[in-house]
A = this chain, B = another copy of it.
Amino acid sequence: MHRIRKVSSKIMSEREAVETFVVDGIRLRSGGIGLRKPFALINETIRQRRKNITFILSGFTEDGDVMVGAGVASQLEGSYFGLEALGLAHNYRRAYEQGIPLKIKIEEYSNYGMTARFMAAAMGVPFMPVKSHLGSDLVRYHAFREKKAHLMEDPFSGEKVMLLPACPVDVAFVHAQRCDEDGNVQIWGPIGDDEWGARAAQQVVVEVEEIVDSEIVRRDPNRTILPSFMVSAIVIAPYGSHPYQCQGYYDLDLEYRKMYAEVTRTREGFERYLEDWVYGPGSHQGYLEKLGKDRLDRLRAKPYMSDPVNYGY
């Protein structure tokens, strides 16, 4: 029933994507909670030595830490800044406590607070009401937002409710399992708040494990998280979340994460890390080559397949 259509391709290298969409001073969103972190794009952003980025997410781990340590992010908006089971985030502490490599500011909300703020921006409303944040110092101290939250009485019942402002995002990075050539993006496993965070953005740059035939996407349209028109650029980046997981593709690299937690204890160690693992490799491809085929093969996911469902009528 439809003619073949051809749109100009959104597929580009990580270099081209960062050159085109990530400029100094923007509000940039990382992605993934516990997995699917967009490290191919983050490492490239560091290589291109961007400055004064406001980096945004609910749960920052190595993604936030490396961007702060590299001097790219000067402001953070989020709710968690640590390395989970691996301890505190050292670059982040050095920056906040000692101004190394530069003084940073943090606008602090809870995880749900950030999610609610992404929801508001994604739905085009100025705020979202929440029932957390009440009675805490999260709303009492602020860093760079003039108005961080607004306490109000619900006009319907009189109960107290906290309004959190929409979180505007210039560019969102998303790591996804797959998309088609048009940029219809599919994700499974934990979604975190990528659905809302990406839809909050003016531009979405997605890195994917693979580009698949549009028919594969269209045989399972409920898995689509972002429609093509919301996606500005597609970067093919297998293992792009390393050292984090991508459900169905590879497991986390716990040794790498331990190494990062260890070497970043000192500024010198972190600078060596940047040289070895970010600047040195020159590209995501170079990074994968440095990791080596054996290591990547060991991380590869074992099969645990879903069953087909019928979409017929």
CA distance A205 to B305 in the complex (A): 30
Q: Does A111 have its Cβ within 8 Å of any Cβ on chain B?
A: no
Assess the B150–A313 pair: CB atoms within 8 A: no
Query: Among B155, B163, B191, B220, which residue has its beta carbon within 8 angstroms of that of A306?
Result: B220
Q: Select the residue from A188, A251, A313 with max chain B CB neighbours within 10 A.
A: A313
Least CB distance, A289 to chain B, in whole angstroms:
24
Interface string of A185-214 (1 = CB under 8 A from B): 000110100000000000000000000000
Assess the A309–B223 pair: CB atoms within 8 A: yes
CA distance A164 to B113 in the complex (A): 20
One of A7-15, A81-89, A120-128, A227-235 contacting the partner: A120-128
Least CB distance, A126 to chain B, in whole angstroms:
4
- Knowing A310-B248, A311-B247, the reply to whether A156 touches B127 (Cβ < 8 A) is yes
Return 21 A-B CB contacts under 8 Å, by A number. Answer: A120-B129, A125-B129, A125-B161, A126-B154, A126-B156, A127-B156, A127-B161, A147-B155, A150-B156, A155-B163, A219-B307, A248-B313, A250-B313, A301-B313, A303-B310, A304-B312, A304-B313, A305-B310, A305-B311, A306-B309, A307-B308
Assess the B309–A248 pair: CB atoms within 8 A: yes
Residues of B within 8 Å of A129, CB to CB, are: 120, 125-129
Question: Using a Cβ–Cβ cut-off of 8 Å, how many residues does chain A contribute to the interface with B?
Answer: 49
Chain A contact surface mostly: loop
CA distance A251 to B312 in the complex (A): 9
Q: Does A137 have its Cβ within 8 Å of any Cβ on chain B?
A: no
- Knowing A126-B129, A157-B126, A219-B304, the reply to whether A188 touches B309 (Cβ < 8 A) is yes
Least CB distance, A168 to chain B, in whole angstroms:
11
CA distance A307 to B216 in the complex (A): 7
